[in-house]
Structure formats: structure tokens, C-alpha cells
Structure 1
Amino acid sequence: MIEIHQLRYAVATADAKSFSRAAAALNVKQITLSRRVKLLEDRLGVKLFDRSTRGAETTENGRPFIEQARRIITDVDNLQTTARNVSYGLRARIAVGYCSPIMSGNLRLAIADYLTKFEDVQFDGIEAGLEKLFHGLHSHVVDVAVAPIGLEEDGIASRRIWSERLFAVLPMDHGLAEKEQIYWQDLRREVFVVPAGGLGPVFGNLIAARLTEQGKRPSIIVQDTSLESVLSMVAAKRYISIATEASQGVCWADLRFHEIHDPNGPARLEYALYWRRNNDNPALQHFFKLIEERYPG
């Protein structure tokens, strides 16, 4: 018999492309996860993953199984949520995905407003990278996602909502820290570090677009870690990074957040809401109404 936790282990491995990262995400021992996935493969008679020193890649034969397993997990989780809502006396549920921090800023305020105004709704926040968020939209795991503008997928609608200022994150004694204004060109010689997940890929593309000249690309190091860990690396004075104003909700004693300017004013990152066109969840309609009131288009 195939057990639900085996499906979770397999799907987590496919998403993380690594047994170790999947085990860390699920808070289980790597050897336990690896063995359970191997037992699942033996039971199915199908090799789900190609294993190498670089990680674990889903095989061509394994992809259809992983997608079906993902749908099964979603159905089971929805059943559990429905049962939990009934026990709590809640009548509805909304799952909001986001790839930016909610330490402060517009997203935090919007979520706080929703939780206050709709106390009978189960609110589930899902923080993930862009690829996982959009997969969640298509698989009905996520009702609505908050992400940078410009993303297009079949069946997904979008609406611009707000923008946030962009900041260079510098060690306190960096040569640019006391400069009155910083422009993109001031950062041309710097080495940047960005996270692999969340907004990291967006920041990496933005830095490359702004600072590439005559075929020479800026130095960008991608770390497979959290934004908080990346900022801790900046404090060690080897790199600098990029962040939005929402990242300043925590006090970073050793860092200076210095606003970046374009020729026309402060550099900003634009955000939009993304949702399935056929999503008729009433709790989602309430979320749209709240956003429209706070941030009229």
C-alpha cells in the first residue's frame, strides 16, 4: 500500500531537486526520506529520480506520477482543512501565496486587514518561489499570489496592486553607505549576493539588466539559502545585496539600507495579484474587494 507520507516525500524531492533539501523542508532525516522514496519506487516498479552528486532530477517516467501525487496531496490537505475549519467554526478558506518577505510593507498590512475583517475565514499563507507559486495556482493549492508584474500564463489573470522601493543592502562602513544618493551605476563594481528562492531570481535579473555593459555582466552570487542568511553574509563585508522596503521590518544593526535611484526617481519593484480565472472562491472575492479599497487601480 502506498502511504500519503511517501507521496509527500516524493513531491518534496521533485520540488527541491535534492533529497537533503527535501528532508530539511519536511523536518525529517535525509536517510528516512531517501529510504521511503526508494521503497515507493520499488513498489511502483518505476524509477522516479535520477540520483547524482548534484541532487535528484525527476525522470521522464516519474513526472506523470509526481503530478498525480501532487493532486492527491492537495485533495487530502483540502479535506483536512475543511475538517479543521468545521471544528473551528470557520466557514471559508483562502490560500495566499507570496515570494517577498512580510516583515513590513503593503503585503503585511493587507494580510492584517483581511485577518481583522474576516475572522470566520481560515487564512493560509504560502511563501515560495515564483515557479512553485504558479504551480500552486494551477493545482488549486493557492487561490491568489502576490508577485512581481510581467508574468503571463494561460488561465491566470493578473492585476497591478502596488510597488515597493528598492534598496542596496550595504555593510555600515561601506564606501557608499554615507553617499547622499545611490544610482545603479554606483553599484557597477560591486559583488552581489542573492537568494536562490523568493525574490532572488528577480533581483538577479534586475541587477543584470541594469548593470550589464558591453557584454560584461555584473558579479552575482546565488546562494541556496534564505533572505535572512543572505543579509547576514552582507554583514560579513564580502558582498552587497538588494532588497525591497518590506525587508526593513527587522533591525539589522550591522547593515545600511540605502535607497537606489533611477534617473527619474527612486527605483521600484512593481507587484501584481495573480489568480485562476475560474476561481469562484467567495473568500477570494472578499480579498479582491479589500485590495481594491486599499489600492484602487
Structure 2
Amino acid sequence: MEYIVTVHQLGGFGLAAEKLNVSQPSLSTQIAAVESDLGVRLFDRSRAGVETTARGLDFVKRAQRILAEVEALRGTMLSDLPFGGRLRLGVLPSIGPYLLPQAITALHDAEPDLRVVVREENTLLLDDGIRSGRFDAIISTPEDHPNTMQHPLFVEPLWVAVAQDHPLAHRSSVTAADLTGQRLLTLDTGHRLSRIVYGIAGASGAIVSDDYEGTSLDSIVLMAATGAGIGILPDLFARRQGIHRSEVRVMPLVTPDSHRTISLLVPSDRTEKFAGALARILRSAAKALELNVIE
């Protein structure tokens, strides 16, 4: 399984053999034996390289989950530490830089020998990671990750960013009525924020720009500064960075659905008692940032 997953990830038998420290003929023979035993072709081989077949992709996804469980089992048996001594934590890019510094310090104080590996990814990739076993836990929007054990953390309001010469720039806050006919800027559809913004647009009579989808919140701010539209920003980014940007005016968005819930999520088929303690540490960090914590 490890051989097949590695070939899929690297796109070639030679690179996989080098990474796994085995000979290429040995690796090819092992994979051919699996294909013969299952009666399926996992890879299409050509001079251009290796492409994983549809059945191969199904195999890889299932194998990743099994390998992750084996690794977790080994870690649990060899260590009394939470998450087997290593926590692989996925987090939304709009959350990680602001929430995690305080939380990681508190986590280290609680479990000084626990190794924490953090990776920032969008909503879709976080969901893939928690299902494939690539992550032990993620910090994300709970509605996007069904069939997980969910620990609600806080509710995060949304803000808007407009150019300094925008007609709304003098306002202290923006309402749904103010958005009527306006063009909204948001992240690409791999993020839950995008779907929230589409909902706000539908309820307020605004439109979501189809000319531009931001790859980061910084890029949304820059687009708003050019007058391309109204950027929609999460509270943590808006208060920690947005309000200090001279090229835009940033203010709260006051509409019924201008918020998102953030939770700690772990696989539902894994028992991890420390997840509750980790959630409490994250809530404490969120409270210090003056967020609306869900106790």
C-alpha cells in the first residue's frame, strides 16, 4: 500500500523507489503482484510517465486511511502522549496565524513532549486531509466536514474592505441594504467563506465578482483598494491586519448571516480523549482575541 500511494503522490516509479529506498524493479514487481491479485490496473504506464487509473485512485484513498490508522495505532502503543506523540493539525489560512501562536504555547505547556505539525489549507483540502488520515485534527467550518467529531470553538463575524474613495468609506458599519447592487470580492470556491459571501449576495441584492477570485485575503484587500468591489473579510484578519491597511477602509458587516462558526474536528472513528482538552486551549486563545467563544 505504501508503495502504491507513493507512486501516486510522486507520479513515477523511479522517484517513488528513491524515496522509499528500494530498487525500482522490486517496487514495480510488488505493485504488479497487487494488480494481478486484485485483477485491476492501478496505473497506466507510458513514456510520458505514470497516471493513476480510476480504480487506482479509489485504492489510494482507502490505502491512505489504512496507513494513517496503522501509524496512529503504532504511535498510541509506543507512547502515552496524546495523538501518539505527534499532532498533525490542519487549519484555515485565515485562522492559523492569529489563533495558533497563543494556543501552541499553552499546548506546549500542557504537553511539552507533544510534537505539533501545522499545515494551512483551504476547506476542501482540509476535508480531504481529515478523511484520508493526513490530519489528526483540523480547525475549520463544521458544516463542511460531516461525520466528524466536532468541538465548537467560536463564532467569527465578517467585515468589509472598500477603497478609501468608495461611497461607503465614511460609514462605521455596513448593512445588507448598503450592499444592494454592489460587487463583492471573495476567495475561490474551495473556501467556505466564498459560499457565505454568495449567500450574503443573494440576500442583499449584491453580486459576487466573476472576474476575480482571491487566492488570499491580502489579495482581496488589494483588489478592494483598486475599486474593483467590496472585499469580505473574516474578523480575525480584519482586526489584526485589515484595519492597519492605509489603502482601504475596513468596517464591520452587519447582516443576519455575516458570520461563520469555527470548530475543532477529529475523525469520528478515532478515540482521542485529549481532543476536548485541545478544544479548551483553543477556546481560551480565542477568548483572549475577544471572539465570541462557544463554551
Partner of 1:241: 231
Amino acid at match of 2:198: A
Alignment of 1:99-138 (within 5 A): 99-102=92-95, 105-138=98-131
Q: Superposition pairs for residues 62-211 of structure 1, below 5 Å?
A: 62-67=56-61, 70=64, 92-102=85-95, 105-151=98-144, 153-154=146-147, 156-196=148-188, 200=191, 202-211=192-201
- The percent identity for this pair of structures is 17
- In the alignment, structure 1 segments of 5+ residues that lack a partner are 12-38, 50-56
User: 1:61 deviation in Å?
Assistant: 3.7
Paired position in structure 2 for 1:231: 221
Separation of aligned partners in 1, 2:67 and 2:222: 35
Distance 1:93 1:131 in 2: 23
Q: 2:168 is aligned with what amino acid?
A: L
Distance 1:4 1:114, change over 3 A: same
Quote the offset at 1:111 in angstroms. Answer: 3.5
5+ long unaligned stretches in structure 2: 13-27, 36-40, 46-50, 288-292
Contact 1:195 1:223 in 2 (8 A): yes
Which position in structure 1 is the counterpart of 2:54? 60
Three-state SS of the structure 2 residue aligned to 1:126 is strand
DSSP-derived class of the 2:154 partner: strand
Residue 218 of structure 2 aligns to a residue whose secondary structure is helix
CA radius of gyration, larger in: 2
Q: Partner letter of residue 145 of structure 1?
A: I
Aligned-partner Cα distance in 2 for 1:236–1:103: 27
CA-to-partner distance for each residue in 1:139-159, whole Å, 9 max, x for gaps? 2222222222434523x1213
1:112/1:164 CA distance change after superposition, 3 Å: farther
1:3-22 residue pairs with structure 2 within 5 A?
A: 6-10=7-11
CA RMSD of aligned residues (A): 4.2
Aligned-partner SS, 2:133: coil
- The answer as to whether partners of 1:47 and 1:62 remain within 8 angstroms in 2 is yes
CA contact (8 A) 2:264 2:279 kept: no
2: CA distance, partners of 1:8 / 1:255: 42
Alignment correspondent of 1:269: 260
Q: Is the 8 A contact 2:153 2:279 kept in 1?
A: no
Which is richer in helix?
A: 2
The structural deviation recorded for 1:7 is 3.0
2:278 alignment partner, SS class: helix
- Distance between the aligned counterparts of 2:208 and 2:68, measured in 1? 40
CA distance in 2, matches of 1:276, 1:76: 15
Q: Which residue of 2 aligns with 1:257?
A: 250
> Helix, strand or coil for the counterpart of 1:212?
helix
* 2:209 corresponding residue in structure 1: 220
Distance in 1, matches of 2:43 and 2:164, equals 51
Q: Distance in 1 between matches of 2:42 and 2:5?
A: 18
Task: From the superposition, tell whether residues 296 and 168 of structure 1 become closer, same or farther in structure 2 (CA, over 3 Å).
Answer: closer
Would you say how many aligned residue pairs link Structure 1 and Structure 2?
Answer: 249
Change (3 A) 1:47 1:233: farther
